[in-house]
Structure 1
């Protein structure tokens, strides 16, 4: 009865869970998620599916076809299911994301491609299984549980690796409270493994048969349920972190674009200010030119500016006055009046006058234009 309940519950829960997990994998794949990141979803789903399929086959053979639970073929099939389950769990371990160094088993898997690792795994265990089956199938003296010796080391290794990888993942996601459930999962797997390997006829000398059967069924169901629960928590925490990372990446991209736009705006503002300064300068120069164009110089003032344009760079005001054959005081008076009309002041007044005289070609108002 307990075996029937165990197979029924396991088949229903595991097969439904496997279908849900594979749908999640398909949706994530269509959404364009990173293949390496979601590959573990597929392998975890297959591991659970194998459990469900094995329980369904056992349910049909034991309940409907009335095979005894101790039938060698049934036990060999159970070992095959367990080994396939261990293979899929091993393949899923590299997809458990964390920042710490991966374990030895994970690093071993990463050294091979999926096809290579599956080939090595099946080849090695196939040869070992052949030896075990050949030596025990027709030998009544060898316990039926002898064949489980193939699976025991693999199951323990997988349990230890799963314990450490899950704890590393939960630690990286600030979920250290999940350490206890992962430890319970590890203990349940060890108990389930022990239940398989210990011959029942030896145990019944110390423990009641019903209690031993109940213990085996409860342990088998419990560790499968806990495995599915832990994986579901890991899956949704991974999905939450993945969406959070995508939002952070989007925020970072928007921040970078915003920074670039702000720099572009600053450059445009600087360029605009520069253009405005240029326009203002041009307006000032234009205003000066217009005001200058309105100034009416006397003939003598024009002549002074002409001589200044010609001799100003090399001679002083006194020397220029002598060239014009006028008094220095008279020359200085004209210079003072011209500066006042042009609104020129300061120590650079002479240079400004020379520049103005040359720019406006006042040399033409002198007889020196013939000598130039």
Structure 2
């Protein structure tokens, strides 16, 4: 019963998560000019999907066809989907962004095309099919045959787990998130426990541990590492997006700075070469001043950190600012007008917004910086 419940949980969580991540991949693919930079999101969704599909098939075979959870077909399907999961994880790891040396396994994988990697795993799956046929028609006991089948998957799973541990730690280090080392190590330990749990014959386990407790340990460990895996990759995906946005902003910052320096040099050259070009020099001075203001504004806005309450106020203004007054928005948020205007004042100060068009500037900023997701009111 516990096995069936765990299959239901795995199927629901993994299939829903895979669908959501696939939608994220499609959205990022349409937005990004570099498809390779977001390709790992798709492989990650397929890795999660393989877990969910395997659990769903187990539910069908156990509930509808009455198979035992230790039946050779179920075990063989488990090995198949475990290998597919390992393949998709390997394909997703090269997309984990960091600036340190890659793990040896990942460097080898990067030398092959996607087609070649699939061919290699296809050969491994062929070996599994051969072992399954031998164990099915042989005279070995059921558990012994199952253990032989799992022995093919375990080395691959351990290699993938170790490569994943190293790459995750390097990525989190580059993002200044060294506190994530512990969760990644726990993930590695859970994977080791989960994969090695499969090779111990149950008749030997009964000598030193209750069989129900042993089976519960395996199920809980398997569920735990799957959910932790999803959590870590979700955190990594979110931090990757923030890093990409920061790098894009820094790139724009550098371009503006280079442009400013070039304009200053052009101005000096023109002043020395020909005093008669006063109109041109005046134009360049004006352009330099505009670039300086843009440079200062971008430099200052890149350091802006709004509080959660300020993000909420700015988001609500972005949603309803063109249709409602400050008073109406404040009433919808159940706060006083003075409190709302105090927040607006602090936000304007933080964003260096002033002038008669301050409200429109705040609305534009909220829309351009994806702050509408923090809105708590609707504007009908």
Name which one, 1 or 2, has greater alpha-carbon Rg.
1
Q: Aligned equivalents of 2:104 and 2:266: distance in 1?
A: 52
Aligned-pair RMSD on alpha carbons? 1.6
Q: CA shift at 1:145, angstroms?
A: 2.4
Question: Which aligned pairs between 1:168-317 and structure 2 lie closer than 5 A?
Answer: 168-270=170-272, 273-274=275-276
Comparing 93-102 and 75-84, the one that deviates more: 93-102
Q: Aligned equivalents of 1:17 and 1:146: distance in 2?
A: 32
Question: Which aligned pairs between 1:16-27 and structure 2 lie closer than 5 A?
Answer: 16-27=16-27
1:223-242 per-position Cα deviation (integer Å, ceiling 9, x unaligned) = 00000000011111111100
Comparing 264-273 and 248-257, the one that deviates more: 264-273
Q: Aligned equivalents of 2:164 and 2:193: distance in 1?
A: 16
Q: CA shift at 1:17, angstroms?
A: 1.0
Aligned to 2:49: 49
Aligned to 2:132: 133
Q: Aligned equivalents of 1:69 and 1:140: distance in 2?
A: 20
Q: Aligned equivalents of 1:29 and 1:127: distance in 2?
A: 34
Residues 2 and 213, structure 1, Cα contact 8 Å, conserved in 2: no
Do the aligned partners of residues 268 and 61 (structure 1) sit closer, same or farther apart at CA in structure 2, a change above 3 Å counting? same
Q: Aligned equivalents of 1:118 and 1:266: distance in 2?
A: 61
Q: Aligned equivalents of 1:64 and 1:135: distance in 2?
A: 27
Do the aligned partners of residues 115 and 271 (structure 1) sit closer, same or farther apart at CA in structure 2, a change above 3 Å counting? same
Q: Aligned equivalents of 2:147 and 2:5: distance in 1?
A: 22
Aligned to 1:34: 34
Q: Aligned equivalents of 2:4 and 2:120: distance in 1?
A: 35
Q: Aligned equivalents of 1:117 and 1:58: distance in 2?
A: 27
Question: Which aligned pairs between 1:115-134 and structure 2 lie closer than 5 A?
Answer: 115-123=115-123, 125-134=124-133
1:81-130 per-position Cα deviation (integer Å, ceiling 9, x unaligned) = 0000001111111111211111111011111111111112212x134213
Q: Aligned equivalents of 2:277 and 2:197: distance in 1?
A: 88
Aligned residues: 275
Aligned to 1:97: 97
Aligned to 1:156: 158
Do the aligned partners of residues 166 and 275 (structure 1) sit closer, same or farther apart at CA in structure 2, a change above 3 Å counting? closer
Do the aligned partners of residues 275 and 135 (structure 1) sit closer, same or farther apart at CA in structure 2, a change above 3 Å counting? closer
Residues 170 and 176, structure 1, Cα contact 8 Å, conserved in 2: yes
Q: Aligned equivalents of 1:237 and 1:28: distance in 2?
A: 14
Q: Aligned equivalents of 1:184 and 1:25: distance in 2?
A: 27
More relative contact order in 1 or in 2 (CA 8 Å, sep 6+)?
1
Q: CA shift at 1:33, angstroms?
A: 4.2
1:280-337 per-position Cα deviation (integer Å, ceiling 9, x unaligned) = xxxxxxxxxxxxxxxxxxxxxxxxxxxxxxxxxxxxxxxxxxxxxxxxxxxxxxxxxx
Aligned to 2:316: none
Q: Aligned equivalents of 2:166 and 2:258: distance in 1?
A: 38
Question: Unpaired segments of 5 or more residues in structure 2?
Answer: 279-380
Q: Aligned equivalents of 2:89 and 2:118: distance in 1?
A: 12
Q: CA shift at 1:61, angstroms?
A: 1.5
